[in-house]
Amino acid sequence: MEWTDERVATLKGMWLSGYTARQIAERLGGVTRNAVIGKAHRLGLSTRPSPIRRHEPVSMPRVVERTCQWPIGHPGSPEFHFCGEEAVSGKPYCDKHCGVAYRRSSQDSGS
C-alpha cells in the first residue's frame, strides 16, 4: 500500500489519539503494525503514551564510588581485588582502610 496523504493523516490522527499501532494498521488495512510504527517514526512521531519504558542509558548507580577501593593482594594476581566494604562518604575507602590510608599524616612512624 502507498502512504497517501489521506492514509498518513489517518495514521497521525489515530497515533496522536492514543490508538495502538496494531489498531491503526487494522484500520488502514494492507499494513502491519511494524509499517505503522516505522512510518510514525519517519513522520517525527514516536515516543508517546506507550505502556512500556525503555531503560535509560544510565549506568548503574556509582556503586564503585561507594565501595572501598582498598586493594587486597598483589595487583595483577588472580587473587587481587578491592575491599568492597561500604566506603566513608567522600572517601574512596571504608572506615577501616581510611585509618590505614590516612594515618601518619604528619609523621613517619616507620615500618
Positions in the binding site for DNA (CB under 7 A): 1, 3, 19-23, 31-35, 37-42, 46-48, 50-55
Q: Which is nearer to DNA, 34 or 99 (CB)?
A: 34
Helix (H, G, I), strand (E, B) or coil at 66: helix
Task: State in angstroms the smallest separation of the CB of 7 from DNA.
Answer: 9
Residues 13, 28 contacting (CB under 8 angstroms): no
Task: State in angstroms the smallest separation of the CB of 67 from DNA.
Answer: 24
Q: Which is nearer to DNA, 17 or 71 (CB)?
A: 17
Placement of cell 490508538 in the chain: 19
Task: State in angstroms the smallest separation of the CB of 44 from DNA.
Answer: 10
For residue 72, CA distances in Å to 21, 75, 94, 99 come to 55, 8, 13, 15
Of residues 87, 46, 85, 48, the one with CA closest to residue 65: 87
Q: Which is nearer to DNA, 31 or 87 (CB)?
A: 31
Q: Which is nearer to DNA, 55 or 103 (CB)?
A: 55
Task: State in angstroms the smallest separation of the CB of 89 from DNA.
Answer: 31
Count the neighbouring beta carbons within 10 Å of the beta carbon of residue 15. 21
